[in-house]
Structure 1
């Protein structure tokens, strides 16, 4: 996340110098390690260099921030969310529009300067998938990196892990499947439960994302799914799915009402099908819709060529307008500087 440290000299001089030194040391460390991205005006950096006793490595980081300010300053105006350190701020972290205001003691008593945590629902492969996804869409922001760590909730435990990270005072994003089998299905209770947790904890450094599609697998386009090993020998089903997509596009059916958003890619179509699903499948002609099995995501994250192709694909307007927008705020929460010296 962008840590905005734009503080006038007289306010710096009036602040508790011990707390100020601790905070400056922490944010410089997080910037240097590629956890977050600190933006600091030249005047602020110069005052700190002249008045605060810092290690040689912290001084070097400050000088680098000062020289880079012309390039990083504009990120503050485009960021959907950023953290601003205000030494005089009291009363705990406060969300004000697109800015989360932190006092010195707020930052000292938290773990905000550690990496952002992304809590996902299932196995390690889901975490690897989302890390690859963020590496692709970060280009929407500019020449920055991502700083994050993955935490796997595992089904019903996802909300518990999310709550634990909030209690640890971490910057945390939860990404959950919608589990929807059709566009008419409601948002699952786990989403409202997680949002309530964050609200009750009065912790604004959270984001809860509910996928607009059924599951994480549905984020992968069909032309990449058919390149996976699990698609071998499934040519009839793949051809039918292509025919359905073509028919839906020709009919002008909005993306959020198309089959691919809600098709169970792991298990295929059940015997007891809804009228909505049956209507969609008829567009593809006769086929055995069996899905591609539970190893689909494992195979995806193990294939470097497909991962690279996916990172390029998610930059396209079609994918971004369908899925990317829901990740945009979270994307700003994982923005980080290039990792520098230790």
Structure 2
């Protein structure tokens, strides 16, 4: 996270108070360790070096950050959020068209957890690792040196809301990446997403929730990335041919809401409880019937129910299996971020840009200082 020391400290002279001095020392230690980025003006750096009772290491840290100010200023338009530290201002969030500024008082950093590396929290560890890869791709697209500092954690699926609240209460910086579990564009959010959004506290802005615009992490994969994956996972080819057929026939939006791990049979479509979501699938499948779904029985379609629900044979899409995300992460780690960006499509580009910008903003850091 980029953390800026406000020039309000130019008129601040309370560093004789141990609590203020301790908070400043803890904050500076996070930059020395490479956990975050420090933005400070040259005037404030000079002021603090002469009046804040800093150690030689503290002075070296501030001087180094002041020297890097031009580079860090150039980063601001590419961030969605930053932290602004002032002497006594209460915790608040200012939102602008270009992003948000989290304002906290210096005493916020009396807590050691507040300066630790940002937690990237996913429903499982693979979701967290995938989010970081998206952030690296964003950095590459913006020609940013992709230095990230983070702790990737899995929240145990349906218990991620409790895990998120624990991190939130600790004052640790945290960005949670959550599946929407939406079955269609106008479908409601799933229980997990609803629970964590309810748990999020507006008076604790150091913890953020990013809700994926697609059903699950796997749905953020473009058709070309799925195609590339077939080169090392040939058993995926049949499932890929089905989803490719959907895209070729104008139903590429289905890739955002399909269960790519398990696939989709018509009995599952007929059993969708949310009527608009059910209607969305049925209307699209009827429109493309014969081109994408030769195995869908017309009599079942006419009655909108499966006549053999215990052995449905009408397969809209085949599943890639439970290890789809794992294999995708392995592939993405083998290739450059530039190649990954070239493989994105209209459906996935904006999602990767938005999620990548958010995760990068919360995790950007500088190399550890040897001072």
Which TM-score band applies after superposition, normalised by the shorter structure? 0.7 to 0.9
Q: Which residue of 1 aligns with 2:326?
A: 298
TM-score by length of 1: 0.84
5+ unaligned residues in a row in structure 2: which ranges?
270-278, 296-314
Q: Which residue of 2 aligns with 1:44?
A: 44
Q: Which residue of 1 aligns with 2:362?
A: 333
C-alpha distance 125-195 of structure 1, shift in aligned 2 (>3 A): closer
Matches within 5 A, 1:275-286: 276-277=280-281, 279-280=284-285, 282=289, 283-286=291-294
Displacement after TM superposition at 1:290 (Å):
2.4
Q: Which residue of 2 aligns with 1:148?
A: 150
Partner of 2:264: helix, strand, or coil?
coil
Matches within 5 A, 1:1-342: 1-8=1-8, 10-76=10-76, 79-89=79-89, 91=90, 93-97=91-95, 98-109=100-111, 111-122=113-124, 124-139=125-140, 142-143=144-145, 145-199=147-201, 202-228=203-229, 231-248=233-250, 258-274=253-269, 276-277=280-281, 279-280=284-285, 282=289, 283-286=291-294, 289-303=317-331, 306-308=334-336, 312-313=340-341, 318=346, 319-341=348-370
Distance 1:165 1:176 in 2: 15
Displacement after TM superposition at 1:167 (Å):
1.2
Distance 1:37 1:120 in 2: 23
Distance 1:118 1:35 in 2: 13
Bigger Cα Rg:
2
C-alpha distance 335-176 of structure 1, shift in aligned 2 (>3 A): same
5+ unaligned residues in a row in structure 1: which ranges?
none
Distance 2:186 2:332 in 1: 36
Displacement after TM superposition at 1:187 (Å):
1.7
Displacement after TM superposition at 1:261 (Å):
0.4
Partner of 2:119: helix, strand, or coil?
strand
C-alpha distance 271-243 of structure 1, shift in aligned 2 (>3 A): closer
RMSD (Å) for aligned C-alpha atoms: 2.9
Alpha-carbon deviations, 1:100-159, whole Å to 9, x = none?
22112222136221111111112x322222222222213455345222111111121100
Distance 1:15 1:7 in 2: 15
TM-score by length of 2: 0.78
Distance 2:210 2:10 in 1: 41
C-alpha distance 32-312 of structure 1, shift in aligned 2 (>3 A): farther
**Is the 8 Å Cα contact of residues 132 and 311 (structure 1) preserved in structure 2?**
no
What is the number of equivalent residue pairs in this alignment? Answer: 331
Displacement after TM superposition at 1:25 (Å):
2.1
Distance 2:105 2:236 in 1: 58
C-alpha distance 272-71 of structure 1, shift in aligned 2 (>3 A): same
